[in-house]
Amino acid sequence: VRNLAIYPCLSNWEKRVLPLSNPLLRRDACKVGLRRTFRQKSPTWEERLADAVTPLWRLNYEEQLQLKVERQQEILRELSSRLSNTDSVPLLPIIPSPLRNGYRNKSTFSVNKGVDGNPKTVGFYIGTGKSGNVVCVGGGHLLNMPEKHALVARCYEDFIRQSPLRPCIVFSDGGHWREVTVRTTSAGGAMAIVYFHPQDLTREQKSQHKAKLVEYFARGPGSVCRLDSLYLQESAMTRCSHQDSPYQLLYGQPHIHEELLGFRFRISADAFFQVNTAAAAVLYRTVGELTRVSGGETLLDVCCGTGAIGISLSSKVKRVIGIEVMEQAVEDARHNAETNGVRNCEFLSGKAEAVLPKLMPSLDSDSGLTAVVNPSRAGLHYRIIRALRNHLSIRRLVYISCKPDGEAMRNFVELCCSRNEQKKLTGEPFTLTLAVPVDMFPHTTHCELLLVFER
């Protein structure tokens, strides 16, 4: 049977995502769908949320990995077609996550109207604002959610329901209480960051509500969360950096710490750190193997976050230069290098598209350059690609992509395409020689794809 449309018991998502060529996945999916038909009821709110946030949760882990491999193969075929390349890129077997359930070390919970209509419900959205059918559902049942995160979310919901202040759902409608972010470490450290719209409250009024928040989590019912740090950020914007509106430490320690590959890393409120710590260790170890550094090179670590990649490879290279836009993350990276006794790392703060072009001419190319880039889903700015492409001493580049089928695809093409004077891509083109998927996000359709470019 090759047409899933004849199985009305399957959801639209299952019909779309399951590969028709895989009888095993088809068979198990149909079993799931038939069980749903026999129940004669619609999916619960919890199931709907799980389908949205962790859409592969109904499949066993081996089937999830197979789906991800097939998707990466599609992406590499698309890239080959754009480059008019008839040679297939070797795709190594996917590296599984050592931890598959409760693996997230960072979660952000929203506030909105719940299933029962209560506007002070903390969880994740189902629906869209445009259609006016947004419902907020608690996420404690999600397979990727640690119990500590769900506990903090429940306590925050309890607190704001006791507060006389309204939630801030639509900025123009007023209200104050917004999202809460929870960060945890493998050793049990926990940080919570509450986002708050000040509206027209006086300083004294804000102080009173902050004090109540501290009382609740430090000595009240929320003390069960055992938070090491409680932050609050006042902001009238949807997203706001520490530079725009400083995170206010209400109580506890200013940082939490994580152990990774034998190093100790300090993590600030808004610093980037891979969301799956156990899989991050596998990822960084694989990156180290793919760079093939041997001791005399300079390593460029672009979008370096708190410095984990550069520091973990510092003993294998002569020098590490990391670039990161988040100033607080750069402070963490410098602290991490010092704490771990690493003396050959330098971390620069600023937008990589501004810092890197100025930096490249000053680098000593005699000892060789190797680059590792780890951008967000938006990929790298074209000025970064141009600077890397045109510096001929970079013979090997490892690109860590969390969304290779998005804007990053343009990066891949511009690294490998023929010289283009109009785009100022004058350096020798790279060749994509190897790709390695690493599953950082079990139960979702996403994984990290490591791509090795050489020339």
User: How many angstroms separate the CA atoms of 147 and 143, rounded?
Assistant: 10
Q: How far apart are CA 211 and CA 272, in angstroms?
A: 28
Residue 76 contacts residue 413 (beta carbons within 8 Å): no
- What token pair was written down for 20? 């028709």
Backbone angles phi and psi of 249, in degrees to 5: -75, 110
Q: Are 284 and 309 in contact (CB under 8 A)?
A: yes
The token duo for 408 is 């990053």
CA distance 228 to 253: 6
324 annotated ligand-binding residue? yes
CA angle 371–374–375, rounded 5-degree value: 125
Both tokens of 371, joined, read 């680059």
Which residues, other chains included, contact 300 with Cβ-Cβ below 8 Å and sequence gap of 6+? Answer: 321, 323, 356, 369, 370, 371, 372, 394
Describe the strand order of the beta sheet including 394-401 as a list of residue ranges: 345-349, 319-324, 298-302, 369-373, 394-401, 448-454, 431-438
155 is catalytic: no
DSSP assignment of 397-431 equals: EEEEES-TTTTHHHHHHHHHSPPBTTTTB-SPPPE
CA 419/CA 417 separation, integer angstroms = 7
Q: In sequence order, which residues have a C-beta less than 8 Å from that of residue 16 and are 6 or more positions away?
A: none
Residue 240: CB atoms within 10 Å: 16
- Active-site hit among 402, 416, 417, 447: 402
DSSP output for 17-70: HS-TT-HHHHHHHHHHHHHHHHHTSPPPHHHHHHHHHSTTTTS-HHHHHHHHHH
271 vs 273: CA distance, rounded Å: 6
Query: Are the CB atoms for 249 and 231 separated by under 8 Å?
Result: yes
Which residues carry a binding-site annotation for S-adenosyl-L-methionine? 274, 324, 374
Query: Hey, which residues are catalytic here?
Result: 402
Which residues carry a binding-site annotation? 274, 324, 374
